[in-house]
Structure 1
């Protein structure tokens, strides 16, 4: 009981990621690599968004790889992350190879 009360205020730091497709066409084979792991989704329709949550274990850069409607593979480098960071990371994929990263991160 005491352990439950003590740990009820504890929470592990995580980063919430949102990938938004504003390119005007469907994207295929999206994969985000981050320190010590990765996640992906098979496709993302035009105008759609995909959300995921992860814990950073280690330090290093983030990258996003995806295939556009013409079959061209894009690899976009993002910010560097450190173990213990938390907050939000939004990736906006726009037309004509325009991809931007919005970060709101802090250390726990």
Structure 2
């Protein structure tokens, strides 16, 4: 599991409210290059942190997944140990429910 710091965590943080957003909007919010953000979104999608949302496949809308929420919550672990980070976020992701527009962590 590879996340680029700080940009990938910034992207996840913007999406952590459970709302859908586009790469262009995210780039503006985190003050990063639009092309770079649009390149990173499919990469973090492949890792399961975000998912592309319709109504059309090419709409460019993304929404965070429970794994993405967990990554935001546990990001301090990432620099300490990637293995511990991965274990922690997978465990936490099982307790997270995203029902647009809210995020709930069940404990």
Higher helix share: 2
TM-score (norm 2): 0.27
TM-score (norm 1): 0.27
